[in-house]
Amino acid sequence: MNVSKIFTGALLGIGLLATTTGVRATDAASIERGKYLYDAADCYSCHSGPRGGAKNNAATSGKLKLPSGGLGLDTPFGTFRSPNITPDKQYGIGAWSQAEFKTSLRSGIGREGEYLFPVFPYTSFTKLTDRDMEDLYAYFMSLPAVPLPNKPHEAKPPFNWRPLLIFWRTLFFTPGTIKAEPARGDVWNRGNYLVHAVAHCEECHTPRNFLGGLDLGRSFSGNIGGPDRQNAPNITSDVKTGIGSWSIADIENLLKTGMTPDSDLIGSGMRAVVQGTSKLTDADRYAMALYLKSIPPIHVDLPPPKLAAQSK
């Protein structure tokens, strides 16, 4: 018996086991981080599946609701249908590589090289870090696959012609991550990242021009007739028409419970957003609130936040 060979083989076996266990642990941690981001970004509310019947059962795994697509988003340019983003290889994103997934988020370009319609907020998701994109990919690929075909968009010509998006992208899309501002501190920078890149608050709370581009000179000042023709309120620090009179604790409480300082419960699309922000850590909700309080005031003639709320 060659003791040396046995000893060497045992060491190799232990090393392989440790490596494999480490990879699995890393994958599990990545999936967990991805779920956190998935909830924070409120992916399900846009990518929720059809309601009713067997299709609804197929889009649900126990208590887990799956992003099987089909929901219509009404815009001035027509109705856009959210795609199936479960890991189904035929109808979802199961055949997508991690690199292709990241390209869709960073550049707004699909697996076949097609321009994605900006109803998918890649204009915000482009700001995500590579690691967060990788964690999101890990979480999506861990979900049960739902074999539901995508529904076609019902956009009006010429807004349904993808090649024309090259002009829109030239005018309104700047890819890249957020640059940190060290002088502002770590908490403010974390809030800036969560508000812009993850929760993509600007997409609903900023007015758009006639081509659907964000009016960044009036960021967060509200949007009349926003997604699904809902009015998104001014959330700048303007006291009269924004949330300037709210404390940081007020904003934190809204993000956790959906309750305004006037003890009203928010309604419409924001209710779904709070389902995501309620799952954030207290530290991340505080960071978001701190950042939102720092937004310069913009006075606009929009309904104040209370009018967008649903009374108890």
Residue 51 has pLDDT above 60, yes or no: no
Residue 166 neighbours by CB under 8 Å, 6+ apart: 115
> Which residues are CB-neighbours of 133 under 8 A, at least 6 positions away?
101, 102, 105, 106
Q: Which pLDDT score is estimated for 312? A: 37
Structure tokens at 78: 């027509």
Does residue 8 register a pLDDT over 70? no
Q: What is the pLDDT of residue 15?
A: 42
- Strand locations in 140-292, DSSP E? 154-155, 265-266
User: What's the pLDDT band for 97 if we cut at 50, 70, 90?
Assistant: very high
Closest CA to 98 of 131, 65, 121, 143: 131
Query: Which of 26-30, 169-173, 298-302 shows the lowest mean pLDDT across its residues?
Result: 298-302
Taking CB atoms within 8 Å and a gap of at least 24, the contacts of 45-51 are 45/269, 45/272, 45/273, 45/275, 45/276, 46/71, 46/73, 46/82, 47/71, 47/82, 47/83, 47/84, 47/85, 48/82, 49/84, 49/146, 49/148, 50/148
Give the pLDDT mean for 254-272. 89
- pLDDT score of 4 more than 50: no
Given pLDDT bands bounded at 50, 70 and 90, which one contains residue 310?
A: very low
- Residues 199-256 have pLDDT tens digits of 999 999 999 999 999 999 999 999 987 666 678 899 999 999 999 999 999 999 999 9
Residue 25 pLDDT class (50, 70, 90 cuts): low
Note the pLDDT of residue 266: 86
The whole-number pLDDT of residue 129 equals 98
Q: 179 pLDDT exceeds 70? A: yes
Q: What is the pTM of this model?
A: 0.85
